[in-house]
Chain A
Amino acid sequence: MIEAFLEGLAQLGQPAAIAAIVAGTIVGVLFGAIPGLGSVIAMAVLLPFTFGWDAYIAMFLFAGIFGTASTGGAIPAILLNTPGTIANVCTTLDGHPMARRGEAGRALGLAAMASGLGTFFSIIVLAMLLPAAKLLILAFGSPEFFWLVILGLVAVTLASRDNLVKGLAAGGVGILLSLIGLSLVFGQVRFALDSEFLYDGLPVVPLVVGFFALSELMVYTSRGGSIATVGEGLSQPGIRQTVGGALEVFRYKRVLLRGSIIGTVLGAVPGVGGAVANFLAYTTAKQASKTPELFGTGYPGGIVASESANDAKDGGILLPTLTFGIPGNVEMVILMGAFVLHGITPGRQLLVHNLDIVWAIILGVIAAQILTTIIVVSGGGFLAKISLIPVRYLAPIVAVVSFLGVYAIRSNPWDILLAVVAGCIGYLMRRAGFPLITFVIGFVLGNTAERSFVQSLQVSEGSYTIFFSSPISIIIIITILIFAGSPLIKYWYERFTAMRKAKLASR
């Protein structure tokens, strides 16, 4: 183990390795920062170019990309209220109000430092858990996956706003739309209306870009002015503000630790990933806070919770990929493709024969995250000034880049039109009070929910008791009930308290 670690460390010191990490980090931050692109496209596009490279160098490049994209995604989330990646959605809730108050630099500093510390936490956990990883992964079967998805949806609804009914309804419609197209569980095409476009289902990227980037663009451009309205007495974004924000993270140690733990644990569960971790960490931080009403108004703790969790998932998500060859998400699928391309057998053999590669990836993620934190903290003031540019100049550029990103994924021009339709529907949904977040997360997790549900029934030969038979399932169900019931409990508690006060006053 130590020999492999030292070998990985020695490789990291090579000039080519440093260049690969720097390149990967820049690409990761940039692709993460451009809504609709993200690390998947960056890794997919660069994968063929690494053919013939030294395996270490290729791994450093990919570690740089997937380890930093969600930190890059915090930049547009804070400045433009448009999450660069789906895992940055909750960062918008507090990051953007801060940007609008002229505290964009502070928000970026908070996000960068929380991301960096979240990654370190998860990577340390990964290094410690590598030997015992098997037990952790095998504890989660199909029923646990199913409940975890449901927990994610309920958490998302509560995270978005307190309107549980509209949130759940939007999430439900999202799940239903995700069922359109070829089902890998049944090998059957459903709800596709004989359309070739719908054969593989509705594409997620045009929907996400339309809902978040284009609907936001409509809001801002129709309003005019700049994204940030720097108030009187508030400082302009600058390096001092960004560094101050970065140091402020240490005032939210509990939130940071909780977010990092949630991110690491959920990251380790394949198919769940950063988005759910992000939502769950935010909701938990809000519920545990003495001042929950501050969340969503530009509260630093909200950014710390969101960003620590979405970056902590990087360590967690490597666990099933490196130990069992189970890719936790699409980035990991591409990383496994890179293994094959470079003659490395993914799965348990990796730990036996290529432990040095495992350490190279782990060290690469750490190096890239340090670099990203430095880039965002030192360049945060400059990046934050984007929020002061009048939107009439930004809007057409954002629109064009979004459409390019949408088209680049599948080279299908219909996706461009779908993105516009999604943008218009997204705007109307926002105006009608339906949270887009729950809709999109329902759409993203819908297939996982169905697959887990059906597989569970197949295993139990049709018995529904399988969903309530394991201790992990029970714990998740109780958590769901607490989350879902919390508005009612809070309502009745407040009503009871008010009635009691009224009675006391009448005496």
Chain B
Amino acid sequence: MKNVQPAVLIVNILLLVLAGTIVIASLQYGFRQRIVPLVIGIPTLVMLVAILLSDFSPRLERILAMASLGSLQDALNEDIAASWTRIFVIAGWLVALSISLFVFGFYVTVPIFLVAFFVVEAKTPAVIAVLSSLVISAVLYLVFPYFLGIEIWPGITPKVMHGVFGGGLVPVL
């Protein structure tokens, strides 16, 4: 048995679940509606199962590698591999930014996020960070709402300032 990488396993299972769910759900539809999901889905499932099993079977991996002109393991993009701690930190920033945008809107979140990121990640002095974030935020707001006329999301908090902070209507999921 090979040394299986958790990321590889997670992605294999995730794709398998996604494809499997659609293939199984397609069975409830008529022939015409389900033919493409089945024609595409079944070979996809077979390939995903083979890839999953190849993580545990070096022999199967060799067979797949022959069809793919290269080891499956070689396809792993080592160039992008970084420590998981750093990846989690950066992913955390992105998740925090997106949730904050959702809750508090762009006008409030963007300057605060930029200052926080510049200070914590870029180790920029606070004054420079604040000035930079204000300039960047101003440019963004000039381009989007004023130049392009795109209204930007004010957040879902109770309305504090119309169109700027709070009072956004969340579309039904």
Q: Nearest Cβ distance between residue B133 and chain A, in whole angstroms? A: 9
Q: Assess the A169–B48 pair: CB atoms within 8 A.
A: yes
A197 adjacent to chain B (CB < 8 Å): yes
Q: Assess the A176–B94 pair: CB atoms within 8 A.
A: no
Q: Nearest Cβ distance between residue A28 and chain B, in whole angstroms? A: 14
Q: Assess the A431–B98 pair: CB atoms within 8 A.
A: no
Q: Nearest Cβ distance between residue B92 and chain A, in whole angstroms? A: 10
Q: Assess the B121–A412 pair: CB atoms within 8 A.
A: no
B2 adjacent to chain A (CB < 8 Å): no
B170 adjacent to chain A (CB < 8 Å): yes
Q: Nearest Cβ distance between residue A303 and chain B, in whole angstroms? A: 19
B136: chain A residues within 8 A (beta carbon): 397, 400
Q: Assess the B80–A431 pair: CB atoms within 8 A.
A: yes
B127 adjacent to chain A (CB < 8 Å): no
A358-B86 Cα distance, complex, nearest whole Å: 54
Q: Assess the B19–A404 pair: CB atoms within 8 A.
A: no
Also in contact, A403 and B172, with CB within 8 A (given A45-B149, A191-B22, A432-B76): no
Contact residues of B between 126 and 168, Cβ < 8 Å to A = 136, 140, 144, 148-153, 156, 168
Q: Assess the A217–B90 pair: CB atoms within 8 A.
A: yes
Minimal Cβ-Cβ distance residue in B for A37: B148
Q: Assess the A413–B7 pair: CB atoms within 8 A.
A: no
Q: Assess the B80–A165 pair: CB atoms within 8 A.
A: no
A219 adjacent to chain B (CB < 8 Å): yes
Q: Assess the A173–B69 pair: CB atoms within 8 A.
A: no
A100-B51 Cα distance, complex, nearest whole Å: 32
Chain A interface size band reads 35 or more
Contact residues of A between 379 and 431, Cβ < 8 Å to B = 390, 392-393, 395-397, 399-401, 403-404, 407-408, 411-414, 416-417, 419-420, 423-425, 427-431
B1 adjacent to chain A (CB < 8 Å): no
Q: Assess the B122–A393 pair: CB atoms within 8 A.
A: yes
Chain A 324-356 interface 0/1 with B at a Cβ cutoff of 8 Å (1 = within): 000000000000000000000000000000000
A184-B115 Cα distance, complex, nearest whole Å: 46
CB < 8 Å neighbour of A45 from B35, B48, B150: B150
B7: chain A residues within 8 A (beta carbon): 428, 431-432
Q: Assess the A396–B113 pair: CB atoms within 8 A.
A: yes
Minimal Cβ-Cβ distance residue in A for B117: A396
A454-B36 Cα distance, complex, nearest whole Å: 8
Chain B 43-82 interface 0/1 with A at a Cβ cutoff of 8 Å (1 = within): 1100110110000000000001011111011111100111
Q: Assess the A419–B172 pair: CB atoms within 8 A.
A: no
Q: Assess the B82–A412 pair: CB atoms within 8 A.
A: no
A190-B39 Cα distance, complex, nearest whole Å: 16
B40: chain A residues within 8 A (beta carbon): 172, 175-176, 446, 449
CB < 8 Å neighbour of B18 from A176, A411, A433, A449: A176
Also in contact, A454 and B32, with CB within 8 A (given A196-B172, A407-B152): yes
B67: chain A residues within 8 A (beta carbon): 164-165, 487-488
A155 adjacent to chain B (CB < 8 Å): no
Contact residues of A between 114 and 165, Cβ < 8 Å to B = 161-165
A214-B91 Cα distance, complex, nearest whole Å: 9
CB < 8 Å neighbour of B171 from A165, A197, A490: A197
Also in contact, A430 and B153, with CB within 8 A (given A164-B69, A176-B40, A196-B172): no
A433: chain B residues within 8 A (beta carbon): 8, 72-73, 75-77
Minimal Cβ-Cβ distance residue in B for A428: B11
Q: Assess the B152–A404 pair: CB atoms within 8 A.
A: yes
Q: Nearest Cβ distance between residue A213 and chain B, in whole angstroms? A: 11
Also in contact, A163 and B98, with CB within 8 A (given A222-B82, A392-B121, A413-B153): no
A223 adjacent to chain B (CB < 8 Å): yes
Q: Assess the B15–A173 pair: CB atoms within 8 A.
A: yes
Also in contact, A165 and B153, with CB within 8 A (given A186-B33, A221-B121): no
Minimal Cβ-Cβ distance residue in A for B55: A432
Q: Assess the A453–B102 pair: CB atoms within 8 A.
A: no
Q: Which among B15, B113, B117, B136 has the greatest number of chain A C-beta atoms within 10 A?
A: B15
A222-B18 Cα distance, complex, nearest whole Å: 28
A170: chain B residues within 8 A (beta carbon): 15
A45: chain B residues within 8 A (beta carbon): 148-150
Q: Nearest Cβ distance between residue B172 and chain A, in whole angstroms? A: 5
6 A-B contacts, Cβ less than 8 Å apart?
A: A45-B148, A163-B69, A173-B44, A196-B171, A399-B97, A408-B148
Q: Which residues of B contact A (CB under 8 A)?
A: 5, 7-8, 10-12, 14-15, 18-19, 22-23, 25-26, 29, 32-33, 35-37, 39-41, 43-44, 47-48, 50-51, 64, 66-70, 72-77, 80-83, 86-87, 89-91, 93-95, 97-99, 101-102, 106, 110, 113-114, 117-118, 121-122, 136, 140, 144, 148-153, 156, 168, 170-173
Q: Which residues of A contact B (CB under 8 A)?
A: 45, 161-166, 168-170, 172-173, 175-177, 179-180, 183, 186, 188, 190-191, 195-197, 214, 217-219, 221-223, 390, 392-393, 395-397, 399-401, 403-404, 407-408, 411-414, 416-417, 419-420, 423-425, 427-434, 446, 449-450, 453-454, 457, 487-488, 490-491
Instruction: Give 6 closest A-B pairs by Cβ, nearest first.
Output: A172-B44, A433-B75, A487-B69, A222-B86, A222-B82, A432-B11
